Amino acid sequence: MEEIMLFPLSSVVLPEGKMKLRIFEPRYQRMVAQCSKTGSGFGLCLFDSKSNKNANELSEFGTLVKIVDFETLSDGLLGITVVGMRRFAIRKVRVEYDGLRIATVQWFPDWPSQELLERERFLGEQLQEVYRQFPQIGELHSLCFFDDASWVCQRWLELLPLSKGQFDVLVGQRDCHAALAFLQRTIESHLDT
C-alpha cells in the first residue's frame, strides 16, 4: 500500500484517459507544486455530488494521474492536463491542515485489452460520434482505440454521469465485462428514444 494525494471531483479519468483541470484552491495548488517537484502523480476520485464535498463521501476507487501539460487559463488560473495511469482502491483517508486529503491506496491492475464483439461495436461507433460532436474531448486523445472494449468502456465511464455507487461497482471489476453490459443497456436505450 502507498499514500497519494487526492483530488475529488464530480467526474473522473481512468487509465489512458485525459482530462483538463482548473487549479485554484490553495490545497490543490500545493498538490500540483509537490507533484511537479517530485515527478509524482495524484489520485482522482469521485465524490458524491449530492452531498457535502468536504465530507469523506468519496468513491472506493480512483485513478492515479500524471500531469502532462500546464497552461495559464484566460482567467489567469492554472490549468493542467492529466493522463490516467492506474486504478486504485482507497483503504484509508486522512486530511491535512489545509484540507488536502491523503489516501492509503491499494493498486489494481488495468483491465485486460480485448476486441469489441460485433454486437458491441456500436459502442465504439457512438463514442466516435461523441468525439466528432465535441472535438474538445476527442482532441485530448492522440491515439484512440475504438475497437478495444476496455478502452471504449473507460472513455464512456468518464463521460457518463455515474453515481458514486455505479462507479464503484463498474470500476472495481477485474475486467470490462460488467461495464460493457451496463453501457450496452444504457446506450441502446438512449438510441431507442
Contacts of 32 by beta carbon, 8 Å cutoff, 6+ apart: 23, 67, 78, 80
Provide, rounded to the nearest whole percent, the portion of the chain with pLDDT above 70. Answer: 94
Question: In the prediction, which pLDDT does 51 show?
Answer: 57
The CATH-assigned architecture of domain 2-108 is: Roll (2.30)
CA–CA distances in Å: residue 6 to residues 28, 47, 64, 113: 9, 11, 9, 27
Which pTM does this prediction carry?
0.90
For 116-133, how does the pLDDT look when each residue is reduced to its tens digit (9 = 90+)? 999 999 999 999 999 999
Cell numbers placing 142 = 492522440
